[in-house]
């Protein structure tokens, strides 16, 4: 779950806002440019953003006895890279901050950095590494979605630990505490998101292999 | 074969969500299924009791019923678009498949 409204000190809120705002501006420009050269991607991009929209609305119970929600960043990051996911992540977070009192406007920068930016970077990075290591496409998709999801909450814990270091143990003690809240809860949910993303990818491969081939995700005519 | 694996994936996802609920024991205060964001607020208070929240959400759903309505709207909008795109591709693949058969 995201950092609640007003729960980051002003300096941190502003700092994350500037960092994420800059990256978001670059991503909007970059996505706009690639969509002008490949307008046929709009359809599949809308589907991956919609997947993100759905998954972030589902608060799921976890083994720790608390609830959190998956991020849905992995699917789009595997298909289109990390940049479009920053833009979609911003829309999702803004919707939830304005209408659901979930997350917040003052913490939007930090939350976008955790979910849209770090989550998508990790998802894309894991996918590329897994493909370089010659792991099958579905395994790479699973790892990308699950680890991208988990990374979001590790970053959230780090952001809170940075803002609220433990008086005795400093950053490390505080980080461990916030990891206990966010990351441990997220492990089973991240596995669930990984499996669900493979399921959606299977459906896309069954009906829309051509599109995935032109994106370079699956080899032409192969059986990945 | 693919159908078998897809069914297995669906079962695994449902299992991952249901097992925590099945393990839930009544009266166990550590298992209340509250949100991790609420728990993080508590953790912030533990670490820094002097911190005061300096911004409130502009608008908060008046009750958890209204909040669940909005979450349901969000989830259904997402699945609507995802389903539309998948249906479009499926329809196109079927049509092209038939066209190829005729040719």
Q: Please state, in angstroms and rounded to a whole number, the distance separating the CA atoms of residues A210 and A221.
A: 9
Spell out which residues of chain B touch residue A194, defining contact as CB-CB under 8 Å: none
Q: What is the pLDDT of residue A13?
A: 97
* Subunit contact A178:B40, Cβ cutoff 8 A: yes
Spell out which residues of chain A touch residue B13, defining contact as CB-CB under 8 Å: 192, 195-196, 199
Q: What is the pLDDT of residue B1?
A: 58
pLDDT in tens, B5-46: 999 999 999 999 999 888 877 666 666 788 898 889 889 999
Closest CA to A70 of A12, A137, A123: A123
**Domain locations in chain A?**
10-214
**A94, A96, A101: best to mutate for the B interface, most B CBs within 10 A:** A101
Q: What is the pLDDT of residue A52?
A: 97
Residue of chain B whose Cα is closest to the Cα of A192: B13
* Cα dihedral sign, A189-A195-A198-A202: negative
Residue of chain B whose Cα is closest to the Cα of A92: B74
Q: What is the dihedral of CA A172, A178, A182, A185, to 10 degrees?
A: 90
Q: What is the pLDDT of residue B103?
A: 47
- Residue A77 to chain B, least CA–CA distance (Å): 16
Spell out which residues of chain A touch residue B93, defining contact as CB-CB under 8 Å: 206-208
Residue of chain B whose Cα is closest to the Cα of A183: B36
- Describe chain A by its helix, strand, coil percentages, rounded to 5: 75, 5, 20
pLDDT in tens, B78-92: 999 999 999 999 998
Q: What is the pLDDT of residue A142?
A: 98
Start-to-end Cα distance in chain B? 29
Neighbours of A114 (CB within 10 A): 28
Architecture of domain A10-214: Orthogonal Bundle (1.10)
Q: Please state, in angstroms and rounded to a whole number, the distance separating the CA atoms of residues A100 and A18.
A: 24
**A11, A44, A59, A61: best to mutate for the B interface, most B CBs within 10 A:** A61
Q: Are B24 and A65 in contact (CB under 8 A)?
A: yes
Q: Are A48 and A55 in contact (CB under 8 A)?
A: no
3-state secondary structure of A67: strand
Spell out which residues of chain A touch residue B99, defining contact as CB-CB under 8 Å: none
Looking at this predicted complex, what is its ipTM?
0.91
Report, as ranges of residue numbers, the positions in chain A whose pLDDT lies below 70. Answer: 221-224
Q: Please state, in angstroms and rounded to a whole number, the distance separating the CA atoms of residues A49 and A188.
A: 23
* Subunit contact A66:B19, Cβ cutoff 8 A: no
Q: Please state, in angstroms and rounded to a whole number, the distance separating the CA atoms of residues A37 and A40.
A: 9
């Amino acid at each position: 779950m995201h950092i609640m409204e007003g729960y980051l000190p002003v300096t941190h809120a502003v700092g994350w806002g500037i960092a994420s705002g800059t990256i978001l501006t670059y991503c909007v420009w970059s996505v706009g440019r690639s969509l002008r050269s490949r307008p046929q991607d709009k359809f599949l991009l809308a589907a991956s953003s919609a997947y993100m929209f759905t998954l972030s609305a589902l608060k799921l119970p976890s083994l720790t006895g608390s609830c959190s929600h998956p991020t849905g960043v992995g699917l789009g990051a595997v298909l289109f890279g990390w940049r479009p996911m920053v833009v979609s992540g911003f829309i999702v977070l803004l919707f939830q901050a304005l209408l659901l009192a979930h997350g917040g406007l003052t913490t939007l920068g930090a939350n976008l950095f955790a979910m849209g930016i770090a989550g998508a970077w990790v998802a894309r990075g894991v996918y590329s590494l897994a493909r370089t290591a010659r792991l099958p496409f579905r395994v790479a998709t699973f790892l990308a979605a699950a680890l991208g999801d988990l990374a979001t909450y590790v970053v959230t814990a780090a952001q809170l630990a940075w803002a609220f270091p433990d008086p005795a143990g400093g950053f490390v003690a505080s980080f461990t505490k916030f990891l206990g809240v966010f990351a441990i809860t997220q492990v089973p949910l991240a596995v669930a998101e990984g499996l669900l993303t493979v399921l959606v990818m299977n459906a896309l491969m069954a009906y829309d292999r051509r599109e995935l081939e032109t994106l370079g995700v699956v080899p032409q005519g192969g059986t990945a | 074969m693919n159908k078998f694996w897809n069914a297995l994936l669906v079962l695994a996802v449902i299992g991952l969500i249901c097992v925590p609920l099945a393990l839930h024991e009544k009266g166990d205060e550590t298992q209340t299924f509250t949100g991790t964001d609420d728990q993080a607020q508590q953790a912030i208070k533990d670490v820094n009791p002097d911190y005061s929240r300096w911004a409130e959400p502009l608008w908060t759903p008046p009750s958890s019923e209204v909040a669940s309505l909005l979450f349901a709207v969000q989830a259904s909008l997402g699945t609507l678009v995802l389903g539309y795109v998948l249906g479009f591709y499926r329809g196109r693949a079927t049509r092209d498949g038939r066209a190829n058969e005729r040719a």
